[in-house]
Structure 1
Amino acid sequence: MKSRFSNDINIRNRQAGFEYELLDKYIAGMVLTGTEIKSIREGKVNLQDGFCYFNNDELFVKGINITPYAQGTHYNHVATRERKLLLKRAEIKKLETKTEEKGFTLIPTRLFINDRGLAKLEIALARGKKLHDKRDSIRERDAKRELNRLKLK
């Protein structure tokens, strides 16, 4: 019998690599409520609209949609609430100074469950791509696809 809960969760924000130039990556813990981890283990998470911000020297993520747990009662969580991220103080200070520079932001790129069973969020320091940068990405991707096609023949 296959369980509906899984420990090998690896949810990616595939749009992030296209919209942003990813510079640095960090792994952060998340403060979750009771039913949120159950929904994450079912894989019902959407990272597309997520972003990180600072408030009183603490890092929060907003816009991540964790679908409410189906068997949850009135104790079920709010799907799009803001969640606190756990990083070392030095990393938070470093990221805060970087994001104050023009054009930099923090975005969630991947949500996974580590070997100890804890939900972790990979965040990236990113700079938004311009339209011509996106065109270059498309051109590179098409060239790689064409080379792979020629190798297979």
Structure 2
Amino acid sequence: MAKNNKFDKIINIRNKKASFEFEFLDKYKAGIVLRGTEIKSIREGKVSLTEAYCYFRGEELFIKQMHIAPYSLASHFNHDPVRERKLLLQKQELRKLQNKFSEKGLSIVPVRIFINDRGLAKMEVALAKGKKTHDKRQSIKEKDAKRDLQRMAF
């Protein structure tokens, strides 16, 4: 007898642009404060992280420009697609991030959003440093070489 789990659909939405634009130094898993129908849209996979960025307001971490599409089956009580959302981290992680964020050239970038085994939406954020043009060229070369090796294997 198979166990029926309502969270069988795996949601793992990545920000591919971030790995090309930034070099990740540290990664953290954070909870997200959501309203109403936002979790239903996330479970449908209707999230875009390409324009999103994180910033501090006081002692709290927020994400801005993360687009969660309105839930299709909702009425007029739907959510605002690009509102800013609070990220939930432990105090010591927030302090560590805030200290490093104040350094010149470092950013906090959303890497991926996923649903954990308890059905909660989580986000992986990274402390990142922007890549230079020659670093981007190097990552393109590595990606091409990897693709060529995979082609030769088949």
Provide the C-alpha distance between the structure 2 equivalents of 1:148 and 1:46, rounded to a whole number of angstroms.
29
Distance 2:94 2:80 in 1: 26
> Which region of structure 1 is more displaced relative to structure 2, 143-152 or 130-139?
143-152
* 1:34 aligned counterpart, secondary structure: coil
Match of 1:56 in 2: 58
Amino acid at match of 2:36: G
The reply on whether 1:118 has 2:120 as its aligned counterpart is: yes
Query: Which residue of structure 1 lines up, in the alignment, with residue 107 of structure 2?
Result: 105
Corresponding residue number in structure 2 for 1:28: 30
Partner of 1:16: 18
1:69 aligns to what? 71
The one-letter code matched in structure 1 to 2:41 is S
Distance 1:80 1:22, change over 3 A: same
What's the offset of the Cα at 1:7? 4.0
Gapped regions of structure 2 (runs ≥ 5) = 1-6
Q: What percentage of residue pairs aligned between the two structures are identical? A: 60
**How many residues are paired up?**
148
The worse-fitting range, judged by mean Cα deviation, of 132-141 and 5-14 is: 5-14
SS in 2 for 1:24: strand
Q: Kindly state the Cα deviation for residue 72 of structure 1 after the two structures are TM-superposed.
A: 1.5
SS class of match (1:54): strand
In the alignment, the residues of structure 2 paired with residue 13 and residue 141 of structure 1 have an alpha-carbon distance, to the nearest angstrom, of 17
Q: 1:146 offset after TM fit, Å?
A: 2.2
Instruction: Answer whether contact 1:30 1:120 (CA < 8 A) is retained.
Output: yes
Q: CA RMSD in A?
A: 1.3
Structure 1 residues 17-76: Cα deviation after superposition (integer angstroms, max 9, x where no partner): 101111111000000001000100111000001110001100000010000111222211
**CA offsets per residue over residues 58-116 of structure 1, 9 Å max, x none?**
00000100001112222110000000000000000000011110110011110000000
Aligned to 1:47: 49
Unaligned ranges ≥5, structure 1 = none
CA drift at 1:149: 2.9
**2:151 paired with 1:146:** no
Q: Aligned with 2:99: secondary structure?
A: helix
Partners in 2 of 1:40 and 1:143 — Cα distance? 34
Shift of 1:142: 1.4
Cα distance in structure 1, aligned partners of 2:110 and 2:43: 18
